[in-house]
Structure 1
Amino acid sequence: MSNLSENPEALALEPVEPRCAGGAKVEIVTSRNVPLGGLRAMTVHRTLPQRQRSFVGAWCFVDHYGPDDVAATGGMDVAPHPHTGLQTVSWLFEGEITHHDSAGNHAVVRPGEVNLMTAGNGICHSEVSTQDTTVLQGVQLWAALPDSDRFHAPMFENYPVPRVAFDGGTVSVFIGSLLGVTSPIKTFTPLVGAEINLEVGASLTYEVNPSFEHGLVLDRGAVALEGIEVGRTNLAYTGIGETRLTVVNTGSEPARFLVLGGEPFEEHIVMWWNFIGRTPEEIEKFRADWEAGVPTDAFGDGPDAAYMTEREADLAGAASRFGRVHGYVSHDPRGFSRIPAPVMPIVKLKPRINPAPVARPEMRIEQ
C-alpha cells in the first residue's frame, strides 16, 4: 500500500492520568484517519507511525481499513508505486486484492493468507480490490529492514495460514511464533504478527517473549488488555520485560484483534513517502530514481499518452531501480498508470527516534 497522505495533521501530546492499576503497563496510541487516494477515497486508520511512537519492534507502519463498502467508495485502487528498505505484509479479514509487482509476481490476496513483499533495494507494485469484492477489511503493515539487509533483492511470498483453536477462540500466526504456533515466513529481524479471535466473555492469557515490545490493534468488538480498554483501530502498546499478557473480551460480540511485536529496532531510519533510508540524501536519490522511470501517463489518456511505445517503456523500466509493473488495471480508465512522487519537503528530513521500549500510560495523542 502507498502512503498517499499529502497534508499530515499536526498532532499534540497531552499527559493523562496513569490507568494501569496492576499488571503490565499499557500505552494507547490513537489512530488517525487518512484518505487512500481517489475522488471517493476509502479511509484507512493509521496507528503507526505517530509522533508518539514510531515502531513496535521493526513494525513501522500500520494501516487498518474497513469494513469498507466498495460500492460506495470504489474500494482499493492503488496504482504502481515504489518501496525501498522494508517488507510489506498484507492481511485481510474480508474481500480480495490483486497484487502485481515489478519482480514479476502476481497474486490474489485473500483472507487467511499472508502476503509478504520484500522491497529491498527497490520494487514497485499495485494493489486493487477485485471486481467481485463488496466489502473490504484488513491491515497493511510495514517492517523496516536492518542496514545489513536493506539492499536485499526484491521477493514475494504467499502462504496459507492455519487457524488454530484454543479454549475461547482461535489464533492465526502469520509472522513469528505465538501460542505454540509458528509461521514459515522469513523476516530479517525477530517479529511476531497474529490475528486472534476471542469469544464473548472469554479471557486469554498468553506468554510473550520478554525481549519483545508488543502492540494490540483492535479490529472488531471490545477488549481490555491488562485491564485497559482498547478503542477500535487503536494500538495498545506494552514494552519489553513482560512474560505474559491478558486480554478479555468485554463486549457483546466476538472480538478480533492483531498482536504485533518484535525486538526493539534500534537503528535510526529516515522514512518519507514509501521509502525507508538512512539519510535525507538517500531518500532524495530514491525519489529521483522513481521519477526517472516510465512517465506517469505513458499509457493513460493524458497529453503524453504517446510518449513512448510499450517496448520502450519495458526497456526504461528494466533499466530503473524499481522496474515496471505488468497487469495493473485501474477501476478508473482515466487513472494514472503509476503514482508520481510528492514534492520533497522544504525542511530537511530527520531520522525517526523512537521512545524507550517502555509503555507510558500517561501519554496519548490528541488529533
Structure 2
Amino acid sequence: MMTPKQKVLACIRGEKLDEYVNQFEYVKLAFDPATLFAMGQVQKGGTWKNGWGVEMEFPENVPGMFPNTSPEFVVVDDVTNWKEKVHMPRTEFTDEEWAPTIAQVNAIDRDQYFVAPFIAPGIFEKLHYLMGMEDCMINFYDEPEAMHELIDYLVEYELKVAKEVIDHIHPDALFHHDDWGSQRSSFLSPEMFDEFLLPAYQKIYGYWKANGVELIIHHSDSYGANLVPSMIKMGIDIWQGCMYGNDIPNLIKTYGGQISFQGGIDNGKVDRGDWTKEYVEAETRKVISEVNSKNYFIPATVMGEPGSVFPGVYDFITDVIDAINRGGEVIVDENQEVTKPMTHFEK
C-alpha cells in the first residue's frame, strides 16, 4: 500500500493510482516562530496589530483573519513614502523560541508525510494589508516604481524567513498562502501579474527548491485559471484552493503533468451552519465524478488548511472520499475527534 507521500507524488507525476489522494492527507503543516510573530497575537473574535503594524480582525464563523484598512488604521497612505512606514518584523529567534516548532516536526513520520512550513500572508496580500485593496490596485498603475521597490523589500523578508526555517527544520515541502482573485476573476491581469508578482515568486519559490524543498503547494481559493501558466513558471507543484469554477477538467487536460490542482469542493457551498451530510456527500461525489481524474487532481475543500469553519464538514468530506476510494458507502467513526477551525496561531 502506498504511503500518503507516495500517493501524492504518483498523483502529480501522472502515475497509476488506485484511489484519490484525500484532501491534506499527504502533508503535515509546521508553524515557525517568524510567521507566528509576523501574524501577531491572533484572537478569534477579536482585533490586534500584526508584526507589520496592520490592524487585524478575525470574526467568528469566517475562514480567516483580515485587515482593517480604514483611514485611521492604514499603514501606507502614500506608497512613494513606504520606506518611512513599512518595517520588517524580526526574522531571527532563539533556540528556545524554535523549540516548539522543532518538537512538532520531530513528531512527524517523514516517510509517510511531507513536512511543510505554513507561510502567510503572501506578497500580494501583504501589499493590500498595508495600504488597502483599492489603493493597492491603483498603485500598480500609478506608482509602479514604488510598488516594485516595496515588493522587493517583502521578498527580502520572505527569503530571510525561508533561510531560518530551512536551517532549523529542513522541510521537504512548502505551503504558502496568497489569494490572487475573487470567485469570478483574478485581481490582476496576467500581464500585470507577470510584471509584479511572477519575478517575486520565482525568487521565493526558487530559493525553497534550491534548498531541499521538493513540493511547492500554493493556496489561492479563487478564480485563477488565467494565471496557471505563471504558476508553472513560478515552480508551483500544487495549486491548493482551486475552486470548481476554474473548470478543473479543462485545467487538467491543458496543464496536467506541469501542475496539479487541489480543491473543487467549494467551502461556500458545503461549509455552512446548516450543512447536512446528505447535501455535502452529494456535492463531493458530484465534483469527483465530473472531474473524473486521479492524476493531477486532489479532491478537497478549498479552505487554506485542513479544517472547516463549521466543525465536522472537513472530516465528513474525508469520510466521503474514503468511501469513494473503497467503492462503498460512507462509514463514519462517531467517536473521531472533529477537526476544529485551525487555532495554531492563537496564543
Q: Which has the higher contact order (CA 8 A, sep 6+)?
A: 1
Higher strand share: 1
TM-score by length of 1: 0.27
TM-score, normalization by structure 2: 0.28
